[in-house]
Amino acid sequence: MIQKILVFFLLITSSIVSAQRTSSSPYSNFGIGDRKNSRTVEQTAMGGTGVAFSHYKYLNFINPAAYSDLRFTTYSFGVSNTNLNVETSSANQTVNTTTLDYLTLAFPIGKKAGLAIGLQPYSNVGYSLGNIDDSGKETRFTGSGGVNEFYASFGIKMVKNFSLGIQASYYFGTINRGLLINNQTDLSILGTNFKENSEIRGKSISIGAQYKNVLKNKITISAGIKTALQKKLNVSGNSTLYSTSLQLGGLTPKDTRFQNELSGAYILPFKSTLGVGIGKLDKWFVSAEYETQKAISTLGTVTLDNVNFKYDDSNRISLGGYYLPNINSISSYFQRITYRAGVYTEDSGITINHSDTNNNFTALNTLGISFGLGLPLKQMSSLNISLEYGQRGTIINNLIKENYFNVGLSLSLTASGFQTWFRERRID
């Protein structure tokens, strides 16, 4: 029955991921939108760490080399709910969004390798900002869509303590943006409506490595690195500006003022993630990692020029881990629960200028903490929960501060091998 449910879920997921609104942040207005951190619910609960972590049944979205230790077929999907409070110097607003975060199938290949395939959002666009001044002039910015990632990850143990991995990804999606200006009180004044529709396509390769050494006291020390090679996300589409009249039935298009073709690309430079960890298998683990990337650049006419926004270098520092009291406890279910926690700080690589000068750019930074539980189910499957609270941005220089609370939920189902899932049942 579980297999049938998962097959049905897989068939409908691609359309759901493409259609859903996956962000409510005003900051998703810029570039390709909010870039999602590629992490499982378990990794999110540990501050987003994972480049130095591997396990015989857990997925790892950060380092493909970790799949060399996978020993059980695992199929997992994750969802999240975000409560976002948007605050300015004069007002605030709260919105909620619920999204599908990933769908992944992973399985071992022999005793030294593993493969995972999956689908997840790469970036999100979703905002609606409006203002009406004293004269009745309305200005409204809207945006929707995003970029999705379909990927395949492979990891193999080269020697006893050293593993290598590679991930190939394909990116696709649509981003729609609009700017509407009209007068609510004087219907004789024509308004303007600008619409921009773009399609994103691209591909990339990432390479990972892990080193693990088990000491005599069964303490394991580990280190990991992942490098995402430079990728090019091609953009094609069009933009249109036309006049409108506001009538009782709504907006009516009038003359088209111009139409332009969009053609170009976003260039995402080399990105690296480094981490170290120490722990004891199925008992405890602590890890620290650092992620960095040079500034994103653009080619061609991928979007309107925006003097109030530019890309800069980005980086992230995170610390997290887990504690499992007793994985074999019979008398207490709580002893078999995995407890996770973490903390992180991030410079997004986006700088914004909303002041009166042309060189007063403010970096968009994030600080967050996370907690989580891994609730064991039958046959080593688990239900995982993450709670994440953080702040992004500032109200300085007329900017926006976001306070967010994310609740993540994932179901990870395991089997003793890939053949177990597809093996036909027989009656002797």
Distance CA 293, CA 272 (A): 7
Distance in angstroms (rounded) separating the CA atoms of residues 142 and 361: 23
At position 101, the amino acid (one-letter code) is D
Measured from the Cβ of residue 390, the count of other Cβ atoms closer than 10 Å reads 18
List the one residue out of 53, 54, 70 whose CA is nearest residue 105.
70
Say what the pLDDT of residue 60 is.
96
Give the DSSP letter string of 182-228: EESS-TTS-EEEEEEEEEEEEEEEEEEEEEEEE-TTS-EEEEEEEEE
* Domain 2-422 CATH (choose: 3.20.20.450, 3.40.50.1110, 2.40.160.60, 3.50.50.60): 2.40.160.60
Side chain identity, residue 259: Q
Torsion angle (degrees, nearest 10) of CA 190, 241, 309, 205? 150
Q: Structural domain boundaries of the chain?
A: 2-422
C-alpha span between 145 and 123 (Å, rounded): 9
Q: pLDDT digit string (tens) for 70-119? A: 999 999 999 999 999 988 777 788 888 888 899 999 999 999 999 999 99
Q: Which two tokens stand for residue 146?
A: 């995003």
Task: Using the Cα atoms of residue 32, residue 105, residue 316 and residue 162 in order, give the sign of their dihedral.
Answer: negative
Q: What is the pLDDT of residues 338-383, one digit of tens each?
A: 999 999 999 988 888 766 566 778 888 999 999 999 999 887 889 9
Question: Rounded to a whole number, what is the largest CA-CA distance in the chain?
Answer: 84
Render pLDDT for 195-251 as a digit per residue (tens, 0 to 9): 899 999 999 999 999 999 999 889 999 999 999 999 999 999 998 888 877 765 566
Q: For residues 60 and 74, what is the distance between their CA atoms, to the nearest angstrom?
A: 11
Placement of tokens 């907006």 in the chain: 251
Cβ contact 386:374 at 8 Å: no
